[in-house]
């Protein structure tokens, strides 16, 4: 009997259908228990007795990747329509929150200012674009500056060692970077994007034009605009202009010969005795009373800053630069320290060079000249792409920029690096304390605006510093043609505004004056001639 029962048990087990379980239900649904019967061999159990046992195995939990893959394949995605009114209401709540936050910050700033007269100055009124672009900037203190600050911090994050080469090569492929001309060939040595953007080139990668009368391109890039300045306006694009006053500042620089250092500055004259003696002899023979050409906005007004109010941020230039610039200034047709005479045949010229993300991002001196002072306009950081230049009036007068004012052998010379989206950080090698792309505000500019309001004068729009102590004779920082001046942390724009001899035509040919050597839209390299001064042929 026992053998018969066991045989039937095996038959039942064989006839039972096989169950299959998908991976989806392994964890949520356990398989049915199996049943096995064995003959009872114990005493007193009776003939033909048997005992059955039930077994139940716990299913093995699948791996996380398997469950994730299964959920991704089997989960149904359902889209729901959100009413337009809900979106509009959400934007309204966001705007209401911003308005309330700005009002709360304003009240807090006023309370702090009342409690402590030496506290952080009030934020100055920002310049906003006209027309439809005003709506873009009216929703917050700056529509792009927080993103630029975050991007700057992201650029400084250290990249994993084994991701640097593929990452930088991908960037170079997208933006056309020539890796063969980089001085540091091992891309592992660039810890982050910021260091790669600010890369140096191999010696000889950029050749300076041999003509000493040529004005060099200050950087790699594309020539967007150039020409003569008529009526104090610079052409941004065809049919759209902006004024020199808006770009460089409305007040005219005062006499460098009368500069007096701020009490907080430290004199830093040139250390080479021979160069100092040459400069002193040059000043004794030619006189030292001079001023920049009064070209920007007419005679000085009472709103002009006095030199005693300016802090000196200069560093010592190289003796070779001082000597070469001093010798070059001696070659001018008229003494460079004299006032602009009416009979002097000169014109104001300008050039705009746009740096793309793949370009070499350091900028250099286009000629031998002396930088006397710096103006920092802590503006916005809109993109300077060709499209936005065609659509946003006065783009360069809205963006953050550093204006360097000085002179060369033909008169006035200015050099303006302009910040852009994601590239607000502008570095000047010979400035000790310049800081750009601040997340919140520029404290020096805010303090200058507050002091101007206290005096009942209009705010000039910038914070100013002098480089007088760099040379006790030249009263500025001397720069040689091709010498590195600083750079951007990605791409941006350089604007040159300078005085040069007016062209003189005779017989259909230019006999002398300044002539251009480039075309609009042309790609240029640093050191390539933008134009040149033609002497009598």
The beta strands (E) that lie in 113-249 are given as 214-216, 221-228, 233-237, 240-243
Examine the residue annotation and report whether 475 is marked as an active-site residue of this protein: no
**Pairwise CA distance, residues 247 & 428, whole Å:** 18
- Evaluate whether 476 touches 352 at the Cβ level (below 8 Å): no
Examine the residue annotation and report whether 364 is marked as an active-site residue of this protein: yes
**DSSP characters for 503-526?**
PEEETTEEEEEEEE---TT-EE-T
Greatest distance between any 2 Cα atoms in the chain: 139
Closest CA to 302 of 108, 456, 511, 429: 456
Catalytic residue among 209, 220, 307, 328: 220
Catalytic residue among 265, 321, 364, 425: 364
Closest CA to 421 of 493, 362, 361: 493
**Pairwise CA distance, residues 65 & 110, whole Å:** 57
Neighbouring residues of 432: CB distance < 8 A, sequence distance ≥ 6: 313, 314, 315
Catalytic residue among 137, 219, 365, 492: 492
Which run of H or E residues covers position 8?
A: helix 2-15
Task: Tell me how crowded residue 440 is: count the other CB atoms within 10 A of its CB.
Answer: 13
**Pairwise CA distance, residues 120 & 447, whole Å:** 8
Give residue 176's region: left, alpha or beta (phi > 0; psi -120 to 50).
Answer: left
According to DSSP, the β-strands at 493-501 and 369-377 are: unpaired
The residues assigned a catalytic role are: 220, 364, 492
């Amino acid at each position: 009997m026992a053998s018969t029962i066991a045989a039937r048990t095996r038959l039942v087990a064989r006839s039972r259908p096989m169950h299959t379980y998908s991976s989806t239900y392994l964890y949520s649904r356990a398989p049915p228990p199996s049943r096995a019967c064995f003959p009872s061999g114990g005493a007193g159990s009776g003939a033909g007795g048997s005992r059955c046992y039930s077994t139940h195995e716990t299913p093995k939990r699948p791996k996380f990747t398997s469950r994730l893959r299964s959920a991704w394949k089997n989960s149904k995605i359902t889209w729901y329509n959100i009413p337009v009114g809900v979106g509009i209401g959400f934007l309204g709540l966001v705007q209401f929150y911003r308005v309330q936050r700005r009002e709360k910050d304003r009240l807090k700033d006023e309370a702090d200012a009342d409690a402590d007269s030496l506290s952080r100055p009030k934020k100055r009124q920002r310049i906003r674009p006209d027309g439809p672009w005003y709506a873009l900037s009216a929703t917050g203190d700056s529509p792009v500056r927080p993103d630029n600050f975050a991007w700057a911090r992201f650029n400084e994050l250290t990249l994993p060692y084994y991701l640097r080469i593929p990452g930088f090569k991908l960037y170079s492929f997208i933006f056309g970077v020539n890796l063969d001309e980089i001085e540091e060939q091992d891309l592992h040595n660039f810890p982050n994007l910021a260091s790669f953007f600010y890369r140096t080139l191999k010696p000889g990668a950029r050749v300076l034009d041999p003509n000493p009368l040529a004005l060099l391109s200050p950087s790699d890039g594309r020539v967007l605009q150039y020409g003569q300045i008529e009526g104090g306006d610079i052409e941004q694009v065809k049919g759209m202009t902006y004024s020199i006053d808006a770009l460089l500042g409305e007040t005219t620089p005062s006499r460098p010969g009368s500069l007096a250092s701020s009490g907080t500055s430290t004199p830093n004259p040139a250390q080479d005795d021979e160069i100092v003696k040459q400069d002193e002899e040059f000043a004794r023979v030619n006189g030292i009373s001079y001023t920049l050409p009064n070209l920007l906005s007419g005679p000085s007004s009472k709103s002009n800053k006095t030199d005693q109010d300016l802090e000196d941020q200069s560093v010592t230039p190289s003796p070779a630069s001082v000597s070469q610039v001093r010798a070059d200034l001696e070659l001018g047709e008229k003494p460079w320290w004299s006032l602009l005479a009416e009979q002097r045949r000169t014109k104001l010229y300008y050039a705009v060079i746009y740096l793309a993300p793949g370009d070499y991002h350091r900028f250099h001196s286009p000629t031998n000249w002396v930088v006397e002072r710096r103006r920092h306009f802590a503006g916005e950081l809109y993109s300077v792409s060709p499209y936005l230049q065609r659509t946003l009036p006065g783009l360069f007068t809205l963006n953050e920029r550093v204006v360097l004012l000085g002179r060369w052998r033909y008169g006035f010379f200015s050099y303006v690096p302009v910040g852009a989206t994601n590239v607000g950080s502008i570095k000047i090698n010979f400035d000790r304390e310049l800081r750009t792309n601040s997340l919140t505000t520029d404290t020096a500019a805010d303090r200058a605006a507050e002091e101007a309001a206290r005096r009942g004068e209009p705010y000039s729009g910038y914070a100013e510093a002098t480089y007088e102590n760099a040379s006790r004779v030249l009263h500025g920082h001397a720069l040689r043609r091709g010498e590195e001046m600083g750079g951007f942390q990605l791409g941006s724009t350089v604007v040159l505004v300078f005085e040069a001899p007016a062209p003189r035509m005779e017989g259909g040919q230019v006999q002398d004056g300044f002539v251009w050597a480039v075309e609009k839209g042309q790609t240029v390299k640093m050191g390539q001639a933008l134009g040149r001064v033609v002497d009598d042929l």
